[in-house]
Homo-oligomer: A and B are copies of this chain.
Amino acid sequence: MWREIPGGVTAPQGYRAGAVRAGLKPSGALDLTLIYSETPAVAAGAFTTSQMRAACVTYCQEQLRTGQPVRAIVCNAGQANAATGPQGWQDVCTTAAAFAEALGIAANQVLVASTGVIGCLIPMDKLLGAIPALLAVTTREGGDLAAQGILTTDLVPKTIALESIGLDPPLRVGGMAKGSGMIHPHMATLLAFITCDAPVAAPLWRRLVQEAVAVSFNQITVDGDTSTNDMCLALANGAAGGPPIQPEDPAAATLGAMLKEACIQLAKKVARDGEGATCLIEVRVRGTETDAAARTIARTVSGSLLVKSAVFGRDPNWGRIAAAAGRAGVPFNPEELAIDLGPIPLMRGGQPLPFDREAAKAYLHSDPVVIHIQVGPGPGVGCAWGCDLSYDYVRINAEYTT
User: Which A residues are within 8 Å of any B CB, using their own CB?
Assistant: 48-53, 80, 82-85, 117-119, 181-182, 223-228, 303-306, 309-310, 312-313, 315-320, 322-328, 330-332, 334-335, 337, 347, 349-352, 389-391, 393-395, 397-402
Q: Are B119 and A352 in contact (CB under 8 A)?
A: yes
Among candidates B84, B225, B323, B402, residue contacting A227 with C-beta atoms closer than 8 Å: B323
Partner of A350, one of B85, B117, B306, B330: B85
Contact A395 B391 (CB under 8 A): yes
- Interface pairs (29), CB distance under 8 Å: A49-B327, A50-B323, A50-B326, A51-B327, A51-B330, A51-B332, A52-B323, A52-B325, A52-B334, A82-B319, A82-B322, A82-B323, A83-B322, A83-B334, A83-B351, A85-B351, A118-B320, A181-B306, A224-B304, A224-B305, A305-B397, A312-B398, A313-B398, A315-B401, A316-B402, A317-B401, A317-B402, A389-B394, A391-B394
Q: Which residue from B49, B305, B330, B335 sits with its C-beta under 8 Å from A85?
A: B335
A319-B224 contact in complex given A50-B327, A398-B312, C-beta closer than 8 Å: no
Task: Tell me whether A83 and B225 are in contact (CB under 8 A).
Answer: no
Q: Report the separation of the CA atoms of residues A398 and B53 in the bound assembly, to the nearest whole angstrom.
A: 35
Given A85-B335, A225-B306, A306-B223, the answer on whether A323 and B394 have CB atoms closer than 8 Å is no
| Nearest CB of B to A217, in Å | 16
Chain B residues with CB below 8 A from A317, complex form: 400-402
Residues of B within 8 A of A304 (CB): 224-225
Establish whether residues B118 and A310, one from each chain, have CB atoms under 8 Å apart when the complex forms. no
Provide the bound-state CA to CA distance between A318 and B226, in Å: 15
**Which single residue of chain B is at the shortest CB-CB distance from A347?**
B83
Residues of chain B within 8 A (CB-CB) of A394 are 309, 312, 389-391, 393-394
B312 in contact with A402 (CB, 8 Å): no
B315 touches A400 (CB 8 A): yes
